[in-house]
Amino acid sequence: MDFAPRIVAWQRQHGRHDLPWQNTRDPYRIWLSEIMLQQTQVATVIPYYDRFLQRFPDVTALAAAAQEDVMPYWAGLGYYARARNLHRCAQEIARDWNGRFPPTAEAIATLPGIGRSTAAAIAAFAYGERSPILDGNVKRVFTRHFGIAGDPAKREIEQRLWGLADAQVDAAPGLDMAAYTQGLMDLGATLCTRGKPACDRCPAADSCVARREGRQAELPTPKVRKAIPERETCMLVLRHQGAFLLQQRPEPGIWGGLWSLPEFDVTGDPDSASRALGLEPEQRFELAAFAHTFTHYRLHIKPWLVPVRAAGLREAARPERWVPADKLGSMALPAPVKKLLQGLVDAGMQDSLFDGQAR
């Protein structure tokens, strides 16, 4: 039996069948799941997926919403450009496709934030189109099964893998594309994993080059890891009458479009930074420092709690607003900022929380 039919047979018997975005041919729901699952684990995605659909049940509802209304439903998932592209994509479908998803992978791939593999997955699940996928899991499966050395992210290796992906589909007329596509995803996620692949349970083990040659740990060829740069910033937790001052982050950029805390350079001081915003500090408390790791660097954050006397602000370069503590849940906040503010609220702003005394 050829490779693809074996994957289909295995998926039908052993693959995943109970995920909330399975057993639907609605391209909107499939698209949403595919975007959310990029760089994010299934268990993390499920509650976000359900909540997002409750608020935006179809592409028309998403297109009609303001981006500011969309972002709170993504906050915490990270990689926020996905949410911005999701919204732009919905608007483009509403405007250019009369609110209906494009009917082919080629057309889907022209939409914002949708690459070739994601477009193929949507078309396979929604329309049964014979377009192969090549996401990170599938690259791992193919590099091992066919013994392909070299960084899969490099163009020449990726093109070779795409050729293999096309060949498997071409060799299997009448292939159930939805089952095959899901099977490849399941195989990479559950058996052909990064650390300890379960080769004894793999449906394609007898033809796998890496297994035959004992090269599972070598493939795919790992990237040369560079040291992650370290950066520092200070954040102002400005409080007035139970409300916190938030600023909307610019787009594009880290946390673009989300609401975060004002920042100042580590060489500055919280009093001067507060006054630069037109606010007069009453006290200042140094909170426990923490770090947050992004894809390309690690950010060390030193937060200061600063109660201020008045809520008047100078003209600001970006949108700002005072948000009462009980309204923070409705704001699109970066995960570390949400955790910081929620900790302060839960602690009732007790001084015992602070790392040090008022300064």
Q: Residues 30-70: pLDDT tens digits?
A: 999 999 999 899 999 999 999 999 999 999 999 999 999 99
CA distance 78 to 75: 7
Give the residue among 88, 152, 114 at the shortest CA–CA distance from 33: 114
> Quick one: CA torsion of 264, 265, 266, 269, rounded to 10 degrees?
-50
pLDDT of residue 295: 85
pLDDT at 125 over 50: yes
State the first-to-last Cα distance of the chain, in angstroms, to the nearest integer.
Answer: 73
Phi-psi group of 241: left, alpha or beta (phi > 0 → left; psi -120 to 50 → alpha; rest → beta): left
pLDDT of residue 327: 92
- Name the percent of the chain lying above pLDDT 70: 95
Model confidence pLDDT, tens digit, residues 177-199? 999 999 999 999 999 999 899 99
pLDDT at 347 over 80: no
Average pLDDT of every residue of the chain: 92
The verdict on whether 34 is a catalytic residue reads yes
pLDDT of residue 311: 65
> Quick one: CA torsion of 92, 95, 100, 103, rounded to 10 degrees?
-60
Whole-angstrom CA distances from 188 to 125, 211, 277 are: 18, 15, 51
> Quick one: CA torsion of 239, 244, 247, 248, rounded to 10 degrees?
170
Q: What is the DSSP letter of 200?
A: G
**Which of the four CATH numbers 3.90.79.10, 3.30.530.20, 3.90.76.10, 1.10.357.10 does domain 230-353 have?**
3.90.79.10
pLDDT of residue 317: 64
What CATH architecture does domain 3-213 belong to? Answer: Orthogonal Bundle (1.10)
Domain spans, the chain: 3-213, 230-353
pLDDT of residue 47: 97
Q: For residues 269 and 355, which has the higher predicted lDDT (pLDDT)?
A: 269
CA distance 164 to 187: 17
- The answer to whether the CB of 314 falls within 8 A of the CB of 278 is yes
- The answer to whether the CB of 93 falls within 8 A of the CB of 63 is yes
Model confidence pLDDT, tens digit, residues 258-282? 999 999 999 999 999 999 999 999 9
Model confidence pLDDT, tens digit, residues 147-169? 999 999 999 999 999 999 999 99
Residue 352: pLDDT band (50, 70, 90) is: very low
pLDDT of residue 350: 34
Whose tokens are 């066919």? That residue is: 146
pLDDT at 356 over 50: no
User: Hey, what are 71's tokens?
Assistant: 């972002």
Residue 85: pLDDT band (50, 70, 90) is: very high
Model confidence pLDDT, tens digit, residues 287-324? 999 999 998 899 999 999 999 987 676 666 678 999 99
Give the helix ranges, DSSP H, for the chain.
3-14, 27-36, 42-55, 59-64, 67-70, 81-96, 105-108, 116-127, 136-145, 155-170, 177-186, 209-213, 270-276, 335-346
pLDDT of residue 277: 92
Burial label, 286 (beta-carbon count in 10 A; 0-12, 13-18, 19+): middle
Q: What is the DSSP letter of 109?
A: T
pLDDT of residue 303: 97
- The answer to whether the CB of 181 falls within 8 A of the CB of 121 is yes
CA distance 271 to 56: 42
pLDDT of residue 349: 53
pLDDT at 358 over 80: no
CA distance 63 to 109: 18
The count of other CB atoms within 10 Å of the CB of residue 237 is 22
pLDDT of residue 355: 35
- Name the percent of the chain lying above pLDDT 90: 83
Give the residue among 271, 285, 259, 280 at the shortest CA–CA distance from 349: 285
Residue 351: pLDDT band (50, 70, 90) is: very low
CA distance 94 to 101: 9
Q: Which residues have C-beta within 8 Å of that of residue 67, sequence separation ≥ 6?
A: 84, 87, 257
Length of the chain measured in residues: 359
pLDDT at 357 over 90: no
